[in-house]
Every structure is written in structure tokens, then in C-alpha cells.
């Protein structure tokens, strides 16, 4: 790169980094819905107790996600952050949570969009994926994402008194102009999801949870990669 190219490149990277930092500083110190939908609860435990250093290789993926979400508003109820105390069965606003001393039982989630369609409330979430230029297409919704939206249902009901019975994942293929594949489904009943959340919270708080070896750490994924940053620590701790 010559001097001009380097200056432009560096300015772009700095703008990207600023956006990431701004977004990260808005995160509240609570559990996140993704901690409860991970295929391995131990990984969520590690994330909370030994936060992994920022991985610059993920900047580009996160950057795409942020831009996409910010510029695709599907309803008035868009990008709403909800907080919920699992033990007390009580909703909080993010502002209230910032003033709490103890957030050990609080989970936070940000809902993409809440739509009202045919008198039904529908929780919508956008997910990008790599379809390898049309060679791979999503055929059914991922179970972990269905669970994510069912947890949002609990938070939404408690925080806003709105019961959304349906969810819809809008898959967008980033290898092919964000080609859209929407997939709708029934959300799980609220009480069952609350029981699930209580059980996961108990596991997370009682010490090191059992390891659940899965595609994140056994190389059995399309890229044949290890995605869990805690693999060494986990191997040391044993199953």
C-alpha cells in the first residue's frame, strides 16, 4: 500500500473499531440470553468468569451484524433491550440494572423487532449465514435460535405485558446479496422456558458446570475448526 492507501485503510479500521467499542460499552454486566442458549453451559460459565480477550478476527463479522441490524427496522418496537431477574420473576429496565449492586440473577436480551401480524405478536430476529454462493441453504430454524426467541418471549411478557406466541427467524445469506429466507414457528410456553432458565442459572452459579463437547470444540463443523476459546482450560479442568 502506498501512503494514501494506508491512510484510507487505517481510517476505515479506526471507524470500525470505534463502532465496536461504542457497542460493547453499552453491554450491561449481567447474563446474556446467548449464555442460556449455548450448546455448552460450561462455556457460558467461563465467559462470565474468564472473559476472552477481544478477537480482532471477529471484527468484520460483528461489523456486518451491527450495520445490518441498525439499518433494517421492521417495526416501531425495534432493537429493544430487556432485563429480567430469573429468581424474582421481575423485569427491569437497563437503566435500573445499572444501579443494582447484585446482578447475579439477571439476564439481558435485545430483541430485533416485534411485529403484529394478523392479531398476533411475532418476535423477529435476523441471522446472517454463509450459503457458499447458493451451495448451502437453510432448511429449518436452528434450535438454539428458537430457544433464544422463546426466552425473549418471557422477557417481553414480564417487561411489557405482551405475549408473543410466534417467532420468525429471517436468515440472510451474506454470500449472495443477503438473500432472505424467513422461517416462522411457535414459541415455547412461558412457564416451561422459565423452568429451563432457572435450571441453567442454578448450574451456572453452583461452580464449574459439566462439559458438553459439541461442534464448537470437536472440529465437527463445516470449517473443521475449534471455535471455543476455552478449549485448553476446559481440557485441564476435565469433563
Binding residues for ligand SF4, rule: CB under 6 A, are: 40, 42-43, 46, 211-214, 216-217, 228, 230-231, 234
Q: What is the largest CA-CA distance in the chain?
A: 61
Q: How far is the CB of 44 from ligand SF4 (least distance, A)?
A: 9
- For the chain, counts of helices (H) and of strands (E): 8, 7
Q: How far is the CB of 239 from ligand SF4 (least distance, A)?
A: 8
For ligand SF4, the closer of residues 42 and 158 by Cβ is 42
Spatial contact of 225 and 215, defined as CB atoms under 8 Å apart: no
For ligand SF4, the closer of residues 123 and 211 by Cβ is 211
Q: How far is the CB of 41 from ligand SF4 (least distance, A)?
A: 8
Q: How far is the CB of 188 from ligand SF4 (least distance, A)?
A: 24
CA distance 75 to 206: 40
For ligand SF4, the closer of residues 80 and 216 by Cβ is 216
Spatial contact of 142 and 68, defined as CB atoms under 8 Å apart: no
Angle CA 88–89–93, to nearest 5: 95
Torsion of CA 76, 80, 86, 92, to 10 degrees: -90
For ligand SF4, the closer of residues 148 and 166 by Cβ is 148
Amino acid at each position: 500500500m502506498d501512503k494514501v492507501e494506508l491512510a484510507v485503510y487505517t481510517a476505515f479500521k479506526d471507524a470500525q473499531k470505534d463502532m465496536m467499542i461504542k457497542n460493547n460499552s453499552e453491554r450491561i454486566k449481567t447474563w446474556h440470553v446467548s449464555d442460556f442458549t449455548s450448546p455448552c453451559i460450561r462455556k457460558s460459565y467461563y465467559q462470565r468468569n474468564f472473559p476472552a480477550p477481544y478477537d480482532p478476527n471477529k471484527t468484520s463479522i460483528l461489523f456486518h451484524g451491527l450495520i445490518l441490524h441498525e439499518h433494517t427496522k421492521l417495526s416501531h418496537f425495534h432493537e429493544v433491550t430487556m432485563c429480567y431477574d430469573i429468581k424474582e420473576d421481575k423485569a427491569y429496565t437497563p437503566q435500573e440494572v445499572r444501579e443494582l449492586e447484585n446482578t447475579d440473577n439477571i439476564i439481558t436480551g435485545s430483541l430485533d423487532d416485534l411485529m403484529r401480524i394478523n392479531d398476533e405478536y411475532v418476535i423477529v430476529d435476523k441471522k446472517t449465514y454463509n450459503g457458499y454462493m447458493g451451495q448451502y441453504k437453510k432448511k429449518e430454524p436452528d434450535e438454539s435460535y428458537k430457544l433464544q426467541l422463546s426466552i425473549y418471549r418471557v422477557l417481553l411478557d414480564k417487561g411489557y405485558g405482551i405475549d408473543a406466541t410466534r417467532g420468525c427467524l429471517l436468515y440472510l445469506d451474506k454470500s449472495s446479496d443477503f438473500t432472505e429466507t424467513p422461517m416462522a414457528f411457535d414459541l415455547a410456553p412461558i412457564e416451561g422456558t422459565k423452568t429451563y432458565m432457572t435450571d441453567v442459572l442454578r448450574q451456572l452459579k453452583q461452580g464449574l458446570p459439566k462439559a458438553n463437547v459439541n461442534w464448537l470444540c470437536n472440529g465437527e463443523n463445516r470449517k473443521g475448526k475449534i471455535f471455543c476459546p476455552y478449549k485448553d482450560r476446559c481440557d485441564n479442568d476435565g469433563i
